[in-house]
Amino acid sequence: MRNYLLAALTLFLFSCSQNTNTNQNASVMDIDSTLAKKDFHELNIMSLEGDSRIDFSSFQGKKVLIVNVASKCGYTYQYEGLQKLHEEHGDKVQIIGFPCNQFLFQEPGDKDKIRSFCSVNYGVTFPITEKIKVKGRGQHPIYKWLTKENLNKKGNYKVSWNFNKFLISENGELLNHFDSKKEPMGDEILSAIGAI
């Protein structure tokens, strides 16, 4: 009798875990199918302060450069180039920083520390979003759209490290993905935004 109960309990637990996995997979598929119907300009995200949403529809007619940022990375100095790009070519491209702590925990701070770091060290005035995940479980829908070909209609991309960059066209189409080594004020990015 005891063996029967153990077997029944094991079968029940296995069935529950399968149902949970099925529900999670269905949920992910639902999110992906919803995103597949969305244009980039229909997406939005909370600001770093959490008191307002950054609505991408307000960027129609302008290129957008999305960058996953971190305060303790070897590429953190690129904040300076991003701010310069914002100041000198803000009429051509909107820069948005997306803090992420997924690469060696290089963005550990809360919103106040992130905002203070960006402002004090680099004078950042372009929008910074809430801290998000750019890959794996819990990946933010914006980064799902950016990295999956079935959503962005351009290609599959991997966010390899902090300061990867995605360029979106004036019409909300994914134009390009740049790895971390590409400098914000480098010829490749300046050419892509039409600054040279």
Both 61 and 112 in one domain: the answer is yes
Question: With 60 as the cut, is the pLDDT of residue 192 above it?
Answer: yes
If you count them, how many residues does the chain have? 196
Same structural domain, 95 and 174: yes
Tell me, what's the pLDDT at 106? 98
Would the pLDDT of 86 be above 90?
yes
33 lies in which domain range?
A: 1-37
Alpha-carbon span 75 to 69, nearest angstrom: 9
Q: Which of 88, 94, 84 is nearest to 56 (CA)?
A: 94
121 lies in the same domain as 156: yes
Whether 83 and 125 have beta carbons less than 8 Å apart is answered as: yes
Give residue-wise pLDDT tens across range 46-63.
999 888 999 999 999 999
Q: Is the pTM of this model over 0.95?
A: no
Catalytic residues: 73
Over residues 145-161, mean pLDDT: 97
Q: How many domains does the chain have?
A: 2
Residues 24 and 62 in one domain: no
Based on the fold, state whether residues 152 and 65 are members of the same structural domain.
yes
